[in-house]
Structure 1
Amino acid sequence: MSSHPENATTHGVITAVRGTVLDVQFDGKSPAIGTGLYCRVPQDDVITAYVHSHLGEGSVRAIAIDSTRGLCRGWQVTSHGRPIDVVVGDKLLGRVVDLKGTPLDGGAPIETETRWPLHRPPPPSSERRTGNEIYATGIKVIDLFCPFTSGSRVAVFGGAGVGKTIVLTEFIHNAVEGYRGVAVFAGIGERSREGFELWQELASRGFMDRTVMVFGQMKEPPGARFLVGQAALSIAEYFRDARQKDVMFVVDNVYRHVQAGMEVSGLLGRLPSRVGYQPTLAADIASLEERITATRSAGMVSVQAVYVPADDYSDPAVTHTFWHIDSALVLSRDVATEGLFPAVDPLRSTSKALDPALVGLRHYETAQEALRVLGRFEELRDLIAMLGMEELSPEDRLLVNRARRLRNFLTQPFFVAELFTGTPGRRVTPEETVEGVAAILDGKCDHLREDALFMIGALEEAIP
């Protein structure tokens, strides 16, 4: 850990330690809420905490962002009167750091004097701008049903093991080639293995020199996991506001931010709210999401993974996140069990950018017709399971055959999964996707076998 600065202003004494929550008594004026506190331990390390609340008579309650193992009452704490902050600057590019800017990649310490507070207010409404430029991902099912613009917030919702991280990684892979800005990745409470694999993927593609990775993984204390998203956002805002560069902000996983807040809330002794969540759930999510926006100086596009506990989309953490999202990509376990990947459920996915004024009339009408066909197919599935295809009307039989071909066509081999599948990845432009889907809906592929459309790129690959 880095040592604290020497210009100490106030000293206090630890009076209680409850997990990662500390009570500290100051003789004079209490440090302001959000102020960083530093305690040097015998191993010559420094434990960092931040003031959460005032208890009165010079006593404060603080949340540690380092392990408090071995910490004792009576130890001295130093406050410098400044909010807890993170290093920012161009020297972070290509590096993997924690929320204090300490390197995690085995590299040299980052030498920069510029530090920004972890907690910063969102830009005022007058400074915000909305992007009207469609951001092509190269993933068919996203570009067709769930397009998003250059200034939007996109979330990938899904339960455990349905492919959220793979979709996120494929998006990054496809986006980096034509992207001219900076990417900031926030790893919140996820597995260290996934972060390492993403690091390797970006390095192999030659994009790490324009990327900053900020991690607070599962093994970290809840205070660190709760703040790592804020630290990554401060770094992203530096590049957006001070350097005026477009920023791609990727988060994996927003639910872990909520979960860390729930753990911190429990340690603070608050009574839980619905389903055991912290009473400040809405504010905790808003404090992260409202800072993610494009401004007049530069753009910011955000793609976030959101874990859905027990596949329950009515979970309060999921519904509160939905409020802030412009495009919601819903992954379905039912689709995944059928072997259709990416396991997107188009009928539950939404996008504010699926508008004729943004994507064009042909794209919009093709997507709406595809949704109608897939919706009717879902209505008929129980009937087919009980009575068979023979009991359907000729019109419904034709619709079911086209719906099956459409579902197969919307699968796609991913570049980041080549090592596991042995199938080369495909990138498809939105125009190719729309033309392929329109051809299937118009009956131009009725003569093709269903499996000929499975795991291909553009439609031309299925035509002999």
Structure 2
Amino acid sequence: MTLPDLADSLFDRLDRLAARPAALSSHERGVVRRVLHGVVEVEGFNEALSDEVIAFEGGASGLAMDLAPGRAGVVLLHDPQGLRPGQHARRTGYVASVPVSDALLGRVVDPFGRPLDDGPPLATERRAPIEVAAPAILERAPVARPLQTGLKVVDALVPIGRGQRELIVGDRQTGKTAIAVDTILNQIGDDVVSVYCAIGQRGDATARVVARLRAEGAMRNCVVVVAGGEDLAGLQYTAPYAATSIAEHFMRAGRDVLIVYDDLTRHARAYRELSLLLRRPPGREAYPGDIFYLHSRLLERATQLRPEAGGGSLTALPIIETQAQNLSAYIPTNLISITDGQIYLSPVLFRRGQLPAVDVGRSVSRVGGKAQLPGFRAVAGPLKLAYAQFEELEAFARFGAKLDEDTRDQLDRGRAVREALKQDEGAPIAVARQIALLLAVSEGLLDGLAAEYTDAVADAVMTAAASCPEAAEIAAGAPLEGARRAAILAAARTALEEVQHGLA
């Protein structure tokens, strides 16, 4: 090739390269002005989006939350080591998201899908925004299917339906997490996906919950999302929204999902901390004015979908902590008004050894019997009435008044109900066994029985009655009446006589 030919070839190639459109991208940049504890103020952003991810020099990142012309308040999601005023920040153009796929089952992750266990990184490219609109009204169906907790006092007296939002509320160390974890354990073998979201908890407490779920085999169908108390407030704020996006992935696939938020009191405190650092005006108890919206837009995502929309469901069990049994405090009243009922745990009952310490008088399910099996409905009404009358009479009987025979019978029935509703932690009970025992109690078979014999008698009654073919029919949704009722009562009476004969 001659020198002129080589020159022509080189210039032709340069012309072709020059004609190609340049693969350029623009990123709006800003300058860090203030660095606070978990919050950064950036100047220079004019088009930032709410919840957009902002990248900083050194690898730190955050979410744009407080937007104003020419500036943005950014909530940090990583430890801001080395971040200082004068450094540059840039918009990424995408909002915060979390990976969603079946690969999350059995894993412990942070709110952005980074593994916190010893497993490998998640092999999934599908992501979902952590903040999405709740399902539309036309996508929703009535809550009509039960979600069994395995706890007698809950399934019978405070029933939970699939798609419901049931608040668990009580003072510190009254068994709130125990009820939620037992409910997750009761879903083993029922094809219900469980998502446990730990917000602001101590690391050892979360580790105990995860270890228990692994030991019982529940992690195969469970995802644990953790933002610990030692993490930045920004991670604690985003954790429940990310966990809900993970749960919605399974719900949209037509599956039933249970999500536990443990707990939203700490979530509200993290948001209050961020809001005060962002210089938002404080309101009652220093919480910002949008604290109600914080939780309402989260819990509105729990629903039962219509068959046309997939037919899946998302059941939410938010947990909050009260102080000195003050249910009228700001955050408890907000969440009571958002949810479909509450399970109230009383420290007084806890100290007396009535476990789980559910206060039946203060607990309520606004879905009620519509999401309850007919067998439970048949026994729940008489039990609740007998227990309410018993509590009033017991307080009156403490004065030493002379009681008539009817009053003594009511006290015996109430004591039998109270003893029958006791249950050990980590021991969920199948539906057929629960209904058999509660029917025996409502019929007075355990009246006058000494408390130390209740466990042995109850176990014998449940084992004998649950072995009847009629018990399986009732657990499948058949009504508790006629021959079915008579067969279970006959088996319960036979078991009771055998146990009493052995104790004699």
TM-score, normalised via structure 2 length: 0.81
Deviation of 1:22 after TM superposition, in Å, equals 1.2
Q: Determine the C-alpha separation between the residues in 1 that align with 2:457 and 2:284.
A: 44
Q: 1:79: which partner in 2? A: 91
Matched, 1:433 2:446: no
Tell me the alpha carbon deviations over residues 343-379 of structure 1, each in whole angstroms, 9 at most, x when there is no partner: 111111111343378543x643532332222222322
Offset of residue 108 of structure 1? 2.3
Contact 1:409 1:456 in 2 (8 A): no
Deviation string 1:34-83 (CA, Å, 9 cap, x unpaired) is 21101132xxxx22211112232x21111112233542101111211111
Q: Which residue is equivalent to 2:28? A: 10
Q: CA distance change for structure 1 residues 198 and 340 in 2, over 3 Å: closer, same or farther?
A: same
Once the two structures are superposed, the pairs formed by residues 148-187 of structure 1 within 5 Å of their partners are 148-178=160-190, 180-187=191-198
In 2: Cα distance, 1:61 partner to 1:356 partner: 46
Corresponding residue of 2:379: 366
Q: CA deviation at 1:454?
A: 4.8
CA distance in 1, matches of 2:405, 2:217: 53
| Structure-2 residue corresponding to 1:418 | none
Residue aligning to 2:256 = 246
Counterparts in 2 of 1:21-420, with a 5 A limit? 21-26=39-44, 29-41=46-58, 46-56=59-69, 58-178=70-190, 180-241=191-252, 243-295=253-305, 296-297=309-310, 298-355=312-369, 358-360=372-374, 363-364=376-377, 366-385=379-398, 387-388=399-400, 390-415=401-426
Letter in 2 for 1:460: V
User: Could you report, residue by residue, the CA deviation over 1:227-278 in whole angstroms, capped at 9, with x for unpaired residues?
Assistant: 100111111122222x333322222112222221121122122333223332
Closer, same or farther: CA 115–440 of 1 in aligned 2, 3 Å = closer
Distance 1:195 1:321 in 2: 23
1:97 and 1:357 mapped to 2: Cα distance? Answer: 33
| Unaligned 5+ runs, structure 1 | 1-5, 416-424
Closer, same or farther: CA 319–455 of 1 in aligned 2, 3 Å: farther
Q: Deviations over 1:98-132 (max 9, x none)?
A: 11111111322223322221111111111122331
Alpha-carbon distance between aligned partners in 1 of 2:154 and 2:406, rounded to the nearest angstrom: 28
- Give the aligned residue type for 1:335: L
The alpha carbon displacement at 1:323 in A equals 2.1
Report the CA distance shift for 1:308/1:7 in structure 2 as closer, same or farther (over 3 A): farther
Bigger mean CA deviation after superposition, 101-110 or 197-206: 197-206
2:182 and 2:25 map into 1 onto residues whose CA distance is 46
In the alignment, what sits opposite 1:19?
Answer: 37
Distance across 1 between alignment mates of 2:226 and 2:314: 20
**Post-superposition offset of 1:342:** 0.7
| Bigger mean CA offset, 162-171 vs 243-252 | 243-252
Secondary structure, aligned partner of 1:344: coil
Secondary structure, aligned partner of 1:126: helix
The letter for the 2-side match of 1:216 is A
Quick one: distance in 2 between partners of 1:410 and 1:92? 36
> Matched residues in 2 for 1:356 and 1:87: separation?
35
Give the drift of 1:306: 2.1
Structure number with greater Rg is 2
The corresponding residue for 2:469 is: none
Which amino acid in the other structure matches residue 413 of structure 1?
D
* Aligned residues of 1:408 and 1:451 also touching (Cα < 8 A): no
- 2: distance between equivalents of 1:93 and 1:437? 36
Tell me, in whole angstroms, the C-alpha distance in 2 between the residues paired with 1:286 and 1:383.
Answer: 42
Identify the structure with the greater helix proportion: 2
Structure-2 change in CA distance of 1:453 and 1:231 (3 Å) = same
Gaps of at least 5 residues in structure 2 are 1-23, 463-494, 500-504
Preserved CA contact (<8 Å) 2:199 2:227: yes
Q: Check whether the contact 2:143–2:367 (CA below 8 A) recurs between aligned residues.
A: no
In the alignment, the residues of structure 2 paired with residue 7 and residue 104 of structure 1 have an alpha-carbon distance, to the nearest angstrom, of: 34
Note closer, same or farther for the CA distance 1:294–1:19 as it changes in structure 2 (3 Å cut): same
User: One-letter code of the match for 2:32?
Assistant: I
Distance 2:407 2:119 in 1: 62
